[in-house]
Every structure is written in structure tokens, then in C-alpha cells.
Amino acid sequence: MSTKLYKRLLTPPKHNSFFLFGLRGVGKSTWVRQAFPDAIRFDLLDEGIYQNYLRDSRLFGRELLRVPRTRTVVVDEVQRLPWLLNEVHRFIEERNQRFVLLGSSAKKLKQSGTNLLAGRALRRIMLPFVPAELGDDFDLDEVLRFGSLPVIWQAPSKPDSLDGYVQLFLKEEIQAEALVRNLPGFARFLPVASLFHGQVLSISGLARDAGVARTTVAGYINIMEDTHLAWLLPAYEGRVRVKERKHPKLYWADTGIVRAIRREFHPPAEVERGVLFEGWIAGLLRAYGEPSSALGLPYDAIYYWSPAQGGNEVDFLIRRGKEFIAIEVKAKESLSNRDFGGLRTISELRGISRRIMIFLGSRAFQTEDGIEVLPFQEFLHQLEGKGL
């Protein structure tokens, strides 16, 4: 079966060397072959190449000497041999060579003591497909059920591929890279962590539910972040004392993976669609707002908001300079008055410029007190076009 080639929106930095991180199977290698067709490529997933460099630490440098200064050099899965960055650093400094460094995890790079080239290489991140990349193939129900990770999206059987992906992730990403000492414990932890998707993260609560130590769970969450399996959304707190700080929310990077961890491949039930839809919108905001994702919305940070006195939260709060955009997400075709509680409470926050409700209805409208109610297609149009 032929594989359709989707055009990714990520654009490489001009002239600079850069790291490109992202979840395994997100399409980094495919993209770099399109963006740099003439590059010299070193693939450390090739066991022969990996073993050669492992036996002779000087071989990589000698091979680089044969590469013309004007040619871009791609190193795939660079975290497998972090010491290669010493030679990369040298060739950037001495020959102004351009490098594209692909990796699914920065953890081993951090553990090795490398400084990620001390700012001599920029950082980019690749995320699962967004609707603008899928074009006419985009289907919300399909995305909420199976996610939009490229390696899964184009598979003949998405349930089988997702199931295999989870096992491959544990074997090749976690076990092979020795990111955890207790792989069975980490495997038991993941289904429990999947229940916290879109929830305020309590390390103590997660540790209790998973039956492991609090410090172990904290380490597992770091691994999920470092391998781009999940990310944390902080609470907006303004000027609060340390003891008043709120816990972040946990979002998995892909809706298909969070369901596959629980071996759920059937169409999501109504109660599940709510958190999946919210998580998918969170991923879109991150894709367009994360500076290193390079999709280009000029805002400074994303938070969730919870009133100090308790009450209705707001799913997302975007800060741009001194202004804020508040966004609430409902997987509903019709809304009730109580659905607007958080957006009405947050109107008292200084600097609020827009309050947006995203829903599954078909017509946009505005409430009497100024809340914009947008079908998700209209919200997508704003993200992809003029921005928020």
C-alpha cells in the first residue's frame, strides 16, 4: 500500500544548526528527508553505524572531515551516542558546518552532561498532525479515537498499530535507552497516568493509585515529558506565595496513545469525548503557540485558570504581553447557561481581551456579555489564518 505524503507546516531555521525533538513515530526522519534532500545522513538506529562509533569514538570526526563544508549533516537518534555532540560542536565552531540533530528524547543528552551545544544549535519540536496538515483527510471523530500520530494515521489497521506502538515505545524508547530501572513498574504506571489526562496532577494521588513511591512517580512524569509522551500545563497564578501554588494539568501528546495505553480502540463514549476534545484543543494551542514548534502564533505562554476562592475553572488562558485570551472547551452541540460559569468569572481578571467558548455546534454567536461562541471549525480557521 502506498503511503500518502502530507506536507508538514514546520519550517527549518534559516542557516542555523538545530535539534529536532519529538515523539517516536511523529515523522521527524520523513520531514528531514523532504526538507534536506541533499544532506549527508548518519542514522544511529542503524546498528552497524551505532556499533562502529561505539567501538571507535574518533570515527565520526574522521568521516565528517570528508563532508564538504557547504553540505548539511543530519544525525538521527542523536541521544543514542550523546558524546557525538562534542564533534558536532567542534565542526560548527571550526568549519561553520550546519547540523540537523534528530532525537526522541533529550533525557540521555541531559544525563550525559552535554550542554546541548551551548546555544549553538536552536531547538525545534515536531508534534502530531494538525488539521491543516491533513487537509481533506482530517476527521475529528477519527482523531479523537485514534489520534494523529503519522505512523498510526497511515497504518492499515490503526488499533493493531497503536497496540504495537505502545509495546515498541516501552521496548525501544524506555528499555533500550535505560530510562527506567523497573520497566514492569513503569508499564503498570502508564494506564493509571492515562486516567489523569486533562486533569490537575497530584503526584501523591497518582502515586497512591499506581501503588508506587511519590519520588518514583515524579521521575516517571519527567520521563513522559522528556520522551514527549506528555506535557504539563501550569496554572496561572499571578503573584502568589509559594505555598499557594497550584498543581499543573497533565496532557498526553496524542489522543490515540492515551487510549491505547488502556487498550481502548472502540469509538469513545460521550463522557470520554469531553476530555479527549479538550486534550486535542490543548495540543493545537501548543502546536501553534510553542515557540519551538514554529507554527507561528505570537503569544508568550499558555496556562489554565482556577479562581483563588474556588469555583469554575477555565481550560486555557493565553498570555500575550499584558493581554489574556480565555478559552473554554465543551464537546457539546448545544450549551447551557452553566457552561459559561468560568468564562464569566474570569472576566474580572485584569487584561482579558477575549473570552472564547469552543463547541461542536455549527453556528457562531456571541453572548450578551461578550463571550464569543465558536464552532471548532471556526476556531481552527482563526488559528490557521489570522490567529487569535
Q: How far apart, in whole angstroms, are the C-alpha atoms of residue 25 and residue 154?
A: 11
Q: Which of 276, 242, 340, 346 is nearest to 304 (CA)?
A: 346
* Nearest Cα to Cα of residue 139 among 22, 256, 26: 256
Look at residue 275 in the predicted model and tell me its pLDDT: 97
Q: Is the pLDDT of residue 351 over 60?
A: yes
Residues 34 and 120 in one domain: yes
Q: Are residues 92 and 140 in the same domain?
A: no
Is residue 274, in this structure, part of any structural domain at all?
no
Residue 206, domain member (yes or no): yes
- On average, the pLDDT of the chain sits at 89
Helix-then-strand count for the chain, H and E: 16, 14
The answer to whether residues 292 and 235 belong to one domain is no
What contacts 361, CB < 8 A, 6 or more positions away?
332, 333, 334, 335, 373, 375
| Whole-number pLDDT of residue 299 | 80
Residue 142 has pLDDT above 60, yes or no: yes
| Domain carrying residue 374 | 279-384
Dihedral sign for Cα 340, 301, 126, 163, please: negative
DSSP state of 9: -
If one compares 118 and 61, the residue with the highest pLDDT of the two is 61
Of 92, 126, 160, the residue that ends a domain is 126
194 has a pLDDT exceeding 80: yes
DSSP 81-121: STTHHHHHHHHHHHH---EEEEES-SHHHHHTT--GGGGSS
* Residue 350: DSSP 8-state: T
Q: How many domains does the chain have?
A: 3
CATH number at residue 316: 3.40.1350.10
* Contact of 228 with 104, CB cutoff 8 Å: yes
CA angle 325, 355, 347 (to 5 degrees): 95
Residues 30 and 76 in one domain: yes
CATH code of the domain containing 170: 1.10.10.10
Residue 329 included in any domain? yes
Return the higher-pLDDT residue of 37 and 123: 37
Q: How confident is the model at residue 96 (pLDDT cuts 50, 70, 90)?
A: very high
Q: What is the largest CA-CA distance in the chain?
A: 71
pLDDT at 109 over 90: no
Q: What is the pLDDT of residue 176?
A: 63
C-alpha distance from residue 6 to each of 19, 100, 239 (Å): 22, 21, 44
CA 35 to chain centre: 21
For residue 196, give the nearest of 185, 182, 208, 184 by alpha carbon: 208
Determine how many CB atoms are found less than 10 A away from the CB of residue 349: 15
User: Residue 246: pLDDT above 50?
Assistant: yes
The reported pLDDT for the residue numbered 297 is 66
Counting other chains too, the contacts that 344-350 makes at CB distance below 8 Å and 24 or more residues apart are: 344/369, 344/371, 345/307, 345/311, 345/312, 345/314, 346/305, 346/307, 346/314, 346/317, 349/305, 349/324
Q: What pLDDT score does 294 carry?
A: 54
Query: In terms of domains, do 255 and 308 share one?
Result: no
If phi > 0 it is left, if psi is from -120 to 50 it is alpha, else beta; for residue 114 that is: beta
* Same domain, residue pair 314 and 331: yes
| C-alpha cell, 134 | 491533513
Length of the chain as a residue count: 388
In this structure, is residue 6 part of a structural domain? no
pLDDT of residue 186: 84
Q: Are strands 230-233 and 249-252 parallel, antiparallel or unpaired?
A: antiparallel
Give domain status of residue 1, yes or no: no
Burial class (CB in 10 A: 0-12, 13-18, 19+), 125: buried
Q: Same domain, yes or no, for 283 and 256? A: no
Residue after which a domain boundary falls, among 91, 126, 161: 126
296 & 366 share domain = yes
Are residues 370 and 254 part of one domain? no
pLDDT of 60 higher than 90: yes
Classify residue 187: in a domain, yes or no.
yes
Q: What is the mean pLDDT of residues 296-309?
A: 82
Q: Which is higher by pLDDT, 296 or 158?
A: 158
Name residue 21's amino acid.
F
Environment class of 115 (CB within 10 Å of its CB; exposed 0-12, middle 13-18, buried 19+): exposed
Residue 202 in any domain: the answer is yes
Lowest mean pLDDT among 11-15, 196-200, 354-358: 11-15
Report pLDDT for 112: 54
What's the confidence (pLDDT) of residue 237?
82
The mean pLDDT of 366-380, rounded to a whole number, is: 96
Quick one: 252 and 363 in the same domain?
Answer: no
Tens of pLDDT, residue by residue over 270-297, are 989 999 999 999 999 999 887 666 566 6
Domain end point (choices 202, 231, 265) = 265
CATH number of the structural domain spanning residue 105: 3.40.50.300
Q: Based on the fold, state whether residues 106 and 139 are members of the same structural domain.
A: no
Mean pLDDT of 68-97: 93
In a domain, 10, yes or no: no
Residue 101 in grid coordinates: 540533530
Instruction: State whether 247 and 320 are in the same domain.
Output: no
Q: What's the whole-number mean pLDDT along residues 242-269?
A: 88
pLDDT mean over 206-210: 90
- pLDDT exceeding 90 applies to what percent of the chain? 66
